Structure 1
Amino acid sequence: MTAYVLVVVAAVAAVVAWAFARGPGVRTVSALGIAGLAGVAAIATLFEDPLAGDQRPVFVLFGAILAIAGGAVVTTAVFAQIDGAAGEADDSGSMHAAGELLRGGAWIGALERFSVFLTLAARWPEGIAVVLAVKGLGRYAELRSHAGTGAAERFIIGSLVSLAWAALASYLVFEPYVIAR
């Protein structure tokens, strides 16, 4: 039950942060808090019995929300840290500037995280390769035309952070049921 509560709290915090958190410092603190809650929930899943009955579909819903909204906050915070560490928040070669070249990245990332969550929910991990292939092929022309601008690096970093976050959310929701079998 602890993991359930932590996932619900993390999902609600992720939606609030996604909707209202502005500025790199606020997003970073929000991302650390959400990641901390998800990490504690992951540990709690090791020591708890799976949920039964009516609670499980709600748990899956909050897991999907955590995958989508939490991933948006965490990915944005990672980009803010990269730009801040490099000291090039306004430079044309920064991750932020590369993000301007790859329009629609936030929506594509949300769809990517949801798709990865669904493929893992369906116990079809091979589907992750399909999701990444579609995303890569869809961005290929843009990445090729903007070579040297940091767009490819932003694409790779965003994809890996999104993939890892969606996999974590999927683990929180589905792993206890796999172990219980």
Structure 2
Amino acid sequence: MTAAVIALTAAGLVLAVVAFILPAGSVVEIVVSGFMLACLAADGIILLAGDGVTGWSEGWWNVLLLVSGALAVTGGGPLTTSVLALVDRKNTRSQSTQQAGEVLRGGALIGALERGAIYGSMVAGWPEGLAIVLAIKGLARYPELRSPDQPASVTPQAVAERFIIGTFTSVLWSVTCAGLLLSR
């Protein structure tokens, strides 16, 4: 069981790196992100079917800590852009969450930092860190979300939608990756 979980997590990390290199929102990125998500789901099923990480040696638990942490930070970006691309399938250009990315600059770096902080706080047994990260992000982005100076090509609703969908996807991904280690 230990080898299977670590192998699937490592495979998810490789897929995350591949998806990160692919063009954002492309069909190939969406498919690769789907396989990455499937690796994490398979990990969860294996851990739930067994005793979780109970009985794992500290060394293997530490390997899973590092690999799932890297997966949390790296995989969340492509997964988020894939979700946003799927949301945009039937939207007009002014409602596009991809266009809203013009307003919310730096989202990839902010998202990676957010996922790392959330993963770390959850693994450390400090779930309150999640609230602090989200509060900081919300306060920092508030001026951009409410700015009347947004480009005419983007609706304020699309900017808010991108922020909410991106944040929820990113947070759920990092919490799920942390959940592998907390399955005792």
AA partner of residue 139 (structure 1): R
Q: Give me the whole-angstrom Cα distance separating, in 1, the residues matched to 2:157 and 2:100.
A: 6
Task: Return 22-31 or 117-126, whichever deviates more.
Answer: 22-31
User: What is the match of residue 55 of structure 1?
Assistant: 60
Structure 2: tracts of 5 or more residues without a match: none
1:48: how far off?
Answer: 4.6
Structure 1: tracts of 5 or more residues without a match: none
Q: Give me the whole-angstrom Cα distance separating, in 1, the residues matched to 2:160 and 2:118.
A: 21
Aligned CA distance change for structure 1 residues 92 and 132 (closer, same or farther; 3 Å): same
Q: Give me the whole-angstrom Cα distance separating, in 1, the residues matched to 2:74 and 2:130.
A: 19
User: What is the match of residue 143 of structure 1?
Assistant: 145
1:83: how far off?
Answer: 1.2
User: What is the match of residue 114 of structure 1?
Assistant: 116
User: What is the match of residue 166 of structure 1?
Assistant: 174
User: Percent sequence identity over matched residues?
Assistant: 38
Q: Give me the whole-angstrom Cα distance separating, in 2, the residues matched to 1:49 and 1:140.
A: 40
Aligned CA distance change for structure 1 residues 23 and 125 (closer, same or farther; 3 Å): closer
Give the TM-score normalised by the residue count of structure 2.
0.88
Q: Give me the whole-angstrom Cα distance separating, in 2, the residues matched to 1:19 and 1:109.
A: 16
Aligned CA distance change for structure 1 residues 134 and 75 (closer, same or farther; 3 Å): same
Q: Give me the whole-angstrom Cα distance separating, in 1, the residues matched to 2:135 and 2:25.
A: 32
1:56: how far off?
Answer: 2.1
1:65: how far off?
Answer: 1.1
Aligned CA distance change for structure 1 residues 127 and 22 (closer, same or farther; 3 Å): closer
AA partner of residue 37 (structure 1): C
Aligned CA distance change for structure 1 residues 148 and 21 (closer, same or farther; 3 Å): closer
Taking the TM superposition and a 5 Å limit, the aligned residue runs for 1:10-21 are 10-21=12-23
Residues 1:80 and 2:80 aligned together? no
Equivalent residues, number: 173
User: What is the match of residue 95 of structure 1?
Assistant: 97
Aligned CA distance change for structure 1 residues 61 and 125 (closer, same or farther; 3 Å): same
User: What is the match of residue 67 of structure 1?
Assistant: 72
Task: Return 131-140 or 148-157, whichever deviates more.
Answer: 148-157
1:73: how far off?
Answer: 1.2
1:22: how far off?
Answer: 5.2
Specify the SS of the correspondent of 2:94. Answer: coil
Give the TM-score normalised by the residue count of structure 1.
0.89
Aligned CA distance change for structure 1 residues 16 and 168 (closer, same or farther; 3 Å): same
Specify the SS of the correspondent of 1:169. Answer: helix
AA partner of residue 75 (structure 1): T
User: What is the match of residue 175 of structure 1?
Assistant: 182
Question: Once superposed, what is the RMSD of the aligned Cα atoms?
Answer: 1.6
